[in-house]
Amino acid sequence: MYKNFFKRRWICQEAVDYLMSLPKMYRVYYMVQSGNDLHKLLIRDEDCVQSAILDWKDSNVVCIGVQYQEDGFSEYYHVNGYIDQSDVSRMKETFDKFIAKYTATNSALDMKSLYAMQHQLRTEIERVCGVQCAYDGKDIIYNLTGISQEGKERVLDMVRRFNKDCVEVAMIITIAGSTDERIGSTLDELAMYEVGVEDSVE
């Protein structure tokens, strides 16, 4: 944490220029500690628009964060003193590795419109497969064990169509917190599945 007792500027212009040059879809902010609380102060939004209220003279700056879209993960560069030109290469290395994990876009669409499209896509997926998700937000989390066999088949048939160019699909098999009875039933189903696979191979 950079305490900055004399209220001087805590970051050089070269570092600011680098942060402003990051691709669209990344929110850039820094965090300031006040007592036991951390406050997030926006540097620029996902459309690369710089915040109008920055004076760069804050005290107790903890880190700079880069976040992928409005509800995505963040990567942090910790601030231990004045950030000068010699820090920019390390900062760049930290954030470039993070940015490389995500799909780039050439779209000129503003982020507000993109976020609306994300919500619309969720609604459309639920309409097409005929199964509603019980959780709020953009992402769809289906408890496949808790829906009908017909609904389960519709969801799985739909997901099979999503190729590498479509939205990402992940599956979670929840083992933590399961009971002895659930584990036993699952082992029985695995044994029956394994016999079925072997029979189909023969």
Q: Domain ranges in the chain?
A: 13-99, 109-161, 172-202
Question: 43 pLDDT exceeds 90?
Answer: yes
* CA separation, residue 141 to residues 161, 165, 173 (Å): 18, 20, 12
Reading the block at residue 64, the tokens are 């700079």
Cα-trace Rg, the chain: 24
Quick one: pLDDT at residue 48? 95
Quick one: pLDDT at residue 201? 59
Q: Kindly report the number of other CB atoms within 10 A of residue 108's CB atom.
A: 6
Average pLDDT, the chain: 92
Quick one: pLDDT at residue 52? 86
Quick one: pLDDT at residue 198? 66
Quick one: pLDDT at residue 103? 87
pLDDT single digits (tens) 79-121: 999 999 999 999 999 999 999 999 888 899 999 999 999 999 9
Rounded to a whole number, what is the largest CA-CA distance in the chain?
79
Residue ranges of alpha helices (H) inside the chain are 13-20, 88-99, 111-129, 149-160, 180-201
Band of the pLDDT at 202, cuts 50, 70, 90?
Answer: low
pLDDT single digits (tens) 3-33: 878 788 999 999 999 999 999 999 999 999 9
Quick one: pLDDT at residue 7? 85
Quick one: pLDDT at residue 187? 95
Higher pLDDT pick, 115 / 145: 115
Q: What is the mean pLDDT of residues 61-89?
A: 95
This prediction's pTM: 0.83
Question: 180 pLDDT exceeds 90?
Answer: yes
Higher pLDDT pick, 198 / 132: 132
Quick one: pLDDT at residue 5? 82
